[in-house]
Structure 1
């Protein structure tokens, strides 16, 4: 690969033989050598995505076989002062913290201080869950519903904070420092406690009525709270690859999909077109991040941003990284060689493809999902999402074969936006909503997300009995921790007694 990226410098060196000019453009450094086609395309698409999601500052890095082959800093760290984003800026990485916590747990297992098969209640010495829920169930997000059988991203992951402390007799922060941060000399990585640590942070932003100043989430646990940057995350990633923190056996166990579900121990695991992708995402209200590894290619993508739209719009919580347009661009250009395929479809026409129909469909659905989310800020996006969905359903009529929770979310979210904007009722996709939901409930009868979507769907149509059934299922399902869907179901049932 040509065109290795260089860290920002302001020095120009001239001689009679060679003239090298380093130019600072929009917060990143122009190449002194020609970029490859994939780099050019990826960069142009990142700029599209930055503009689309109204991201003030975006830091992106790609590592290949332990070496950095792409690093760019787009935009600003501080809009008010017009300060360009650069390598000195740090970001709260939110749930990417879970990867660090997963490594800590595997390290303690190696040290025989902890067992993945130990009951959580026994470790915490409190009757919280019952003996059936083990450390491995918390670590793999399989502790809810029928234990070990289904993946539901859960706040219960935070119990690993106390589990780690019980196993070591030390505070979580001490263990993190001693086992990971200090050995790897991660000088720009720390647990965010309070406002005294924010000097180097890229400022937080939120999209409401345009781009507005946001806020920082303080506090930390095994679930979230680490601050870092591209370089430290590169060091951490290389240490994982080279078994410098945990051994190969522990790493493979951590990365392996638990019971063929989309999550391992602290990381997502996903198969896509003969590629195994290991990934994690971060999402606060005003920050987001993505760490995507493709072990077979020795390739890792890292993205950090100072608003949350890259993660929030893609519903990464459901376990499909191909719903992220950032991941789609990376996969398209660096793994599948589809540089000629546009990332975004234009409003007046949809491009046709004769190769890799599965990827093309996923790309269209990724844009449709993003458009439905962004329709909250721009009503024109409603028409775009609807147009893309109609095209997909027409071109690929076997929708029950590829439908998933993200597609159901897309269809119901469109109705949410239309409802809250008080626009005319929109019923075009109602049959798709009901059939997709039925399929998903056949696979997981207690899926609270599906019940929440259907409950709201039927309630707004005036089908109170049908709505009640779905909201009652959420409230009455055993072994689920409270979440937004629990509160909404309880509120609806109270209002419709």
Structure 2
């Protein structure tokens, strides 16, 4: 149903203002702000946004000249219980966490433990990238500026229990999608890895470092890192989304599958305490008379890493670029520092106009209404600066309605490519099992009631036959839809499948018996083998990988296939079968379409 007759939950001007005259400064403009006068009509505007967007709640905070001067709640922090939004309502700020991580890393730069622009591997030898070009060149600034050329790969961590160290170790599997420093490619995994780097270089976990170095000196005493741990405050956001193709709002679980991803987006805070953060950032790192953040660190986060494109539709925001942990642009001729944050059901925007001494904090509940954090932010600045009001709500609402209609039409045509009257090429049991990929982990396909079930981490969906050897999950409005295409190997077995994840296709191998990667088991096969005067050698490398060495040829990796059977990585139609008697290998037979060759094991 549509939201209607929602009272505006007003939590006052925390500082009742008359006209506030900005002091003349070399870096500031002189402006007059009368909060009550210049925000006249904003209450009605905010209430209208709730109705137009079916939005459960919006929170707004304004910082001016080093003080939180305005806090307002529209709608509810818990739509079901009709609980109000206050200055102390805790919400997940998601990617607005990234500036906390960039500042923390900058503090270590200031201490001489890291550098911005030397290869990060010089400072952290245990960090490994996909290739030597990245190892020899990627810097801390590249990582924090999203310019490594490595794309997101978010399903490595989404709804997973992956630890920070595991994420850090998976970086070496991430093949770049673009040359370094040529394209802005947002990457949460690399930000999480910076959290691991902070621990390696400081001796404290990222959480402890942020708490000790930022939260405590800024008086952010109720801020934390997991919303579930903060429920005892009683004042926190409960996310509600709109059911697809309806106006019905429903409660969704709080996203707490965070674990290792903290540095990329898990800080929990409120308008009151975030105002301390905004005040320090606009006051060259000082808060309450103390230098909390080194001034040069704040300056470094504002230096351009990569330019971002201007919108082709709307021209108010011009020449944006990404620094480290935040963007910088010109909004109608005024310098704007800003960053958004998005996690399931919760969205935030923290922004500042430093030359006007204004900061704006906005949080929005509901995925259907996430564009409102920009809409509200821009509207507040325009009102406070006495500018004409841009019709952001009308623009974005029109775009939103068009996108919803396009999505609905696309889903109505989903079966157009399906080939009818086909069946799988194998018995259904052959499609079951665990399928493995580094760095994504396991996808399990199992029987569930009368059908099949797909599971990647805690992402669980029903799976159905589509056509031939393709199976699709349900199209879930929250979890999405996945299509898997099984592969039959030259021996006629199902040995894996291709699935589109994140930015491309990924292949998952059917997981073999774990004993076939056990060094003790693999040790049975090591040795020299002879056939017709030719001797080949099987050796163990990297603890759990077998290789076949043939004189005059490159080494071939033996990929576990079945008990006592391996395939050549380079030639999937060739397999090597070991004959074992009394727990001792007697021979190795090469089997291919052209015949069989047996090699006797030499003692």
Counterpart of 1:215 (choices 241, 246, 253) is 253
**Would you say 1:206 and 2:207 are equivalent positions?**
no
Matched, 1:372 2:402: yes
Verify the 8 A CA contact 1:91 1:306 in the aligned structure 2: no
Which of 172, 177, 185 matches 2:206?
172
Report the Cα offset of residue 124 of structure 1.
5.1
Correspondent of 2:8 among 17, 22, 26: 26
Find the residue that maps to 1:266 and give its secondary structure.
coil
> Alpha-carbon deviation of 1:83?
1.9
- Specify whether residues 135 and 342 from structure 1 end up closer, same or farther in structure 2 by C-alpha distance, changes over 3 A only: closer
Distance in structure 1 (CA, Å) of the matches to 2:272 and 2:253 = 24
Shift of 1:488: 9.1
**CA shift for structure 1 position 90:** 0.7
Task: Measure the CA separation in 2 of the matches of 1:44 and 1:487.
Answer: 48
1:256-293, CA deviations, whole angstroms, 9 ceiling, x for partnerless residues?
22244521011111223322211011111111111111
1:185 to 219, 226, 232: 219
**C-alpha separation between the residues in 2 aligned to 1:113 and 1:249?**
15
What does residue range 192-341 of structure 1 map to in structure 2 within 5 Å? Answer: 192=226, 194-195=228-229, 197=231, 199-208=234-243, 209=246, 210-218=248-256, 219=258, 220-242=261-283, 243-244=285-286, 245-261=292-308, 262-311=321-370, 313=371, 324-335=374-385, 337-339=387-389
With normalisation by structure 2, the TM-score equals 0.52
Matched position secondary structure for 2:136: coil
Alignment of 1:449-460 (within 5 A): none
Equivalent residue, structure 1, for 2:409: 418
Deviation at 1:240, TM superposition (A): 1.8
SS in 2 for 1:212: strand
Partner of 2:75: 75
The answer (yes or no) to whether the contact 2:61–2:362 under 8 Å persists in 1 is: yes
For 2:38 and 2:506, the matched residues in 1 are separated by 45
> In the alignment, which residue of structure 2 is the partner of 1:112?
112
Counterpart residue number, 1:474: none
Q: 4+ runs of 1 displaced by more than 6 Å?
A: 30-35
- Is 1:486 the counterpart of 2:500? The answer is no
CA separation of 1:196 and 1:189: change in aligned 2, threshold 3 A: closer
Query: Quick one: distance in 2 between partners of 1:343 and 1:132?
Result: 42
Change (3 A) 1:331 1:89: closer
Cα drift, residue 235 of structure 1: 0.7
Q: Which runs of 5+ in 1 are unaligned?
A: 1-23, 315-320, 346-363, 376-381, 383-413, 426-481, 491-497
Which protein is bigger by CA-based radius of gyration?
2
Q: Compared with structure 1, are the counterparts of its residues 72 and 489 closer, same or farther at alpha carbon in structure 2 (3 Å cutoff)?
A: farther
With over 3 angstroms needed to count, the CA separation of the structure-2 counterparts of 1:417 and 1:191, relative to structure 1, is same
Q: Distance in 2 between matches of 1:45 and 1:488?
A: 46
**Are the structure 2 counterparts of residues 187 and 273 from structure 1 closer, same or farther at C-alpha, using a change threshold of 3 Å?**
same
Given that residues 57 and 74 in structure 1 are in contact (C-alpha distance below 8 angstroms), is that contact kept between their aligned partners in structure 2?
yes
- Which runs of 5 or more structure 2 residues have no equivalent in the other structure? 1-5, 19-33, 150-177, 287-291, 309-320, 417-499, 509-603
Larger fraction in helix: 1
Answer yes or no: is the 8 Å Cα contact 1:94–1:223 preserved in 2.
Answer: yes
Give 1 or 2: higher strand fraction: 2
**Residues 273 and 91 from structure 1, CA distance in 2 versus in 1: closer, same or farther, beyond 3 angstroms?**
same
Query: Is residue 194 of structure 2 the alignment partner of residue 160 of structure 1?
Result: yes
CA contact (8 A) 1:59 1:74 kept: yes
Q: Kindly indicate whether the alpha-carbon contact (under 8 Å) linking 2:63 and 2:278 is maintained by their aligned counterparts in 1.
A: no
One of 141, 147, 163 as aligned partner of 1:136: 141
Number of equivalences: 342
In 2, the alpha carbon distance for the partners of 1:222 and 1:212 equals 29
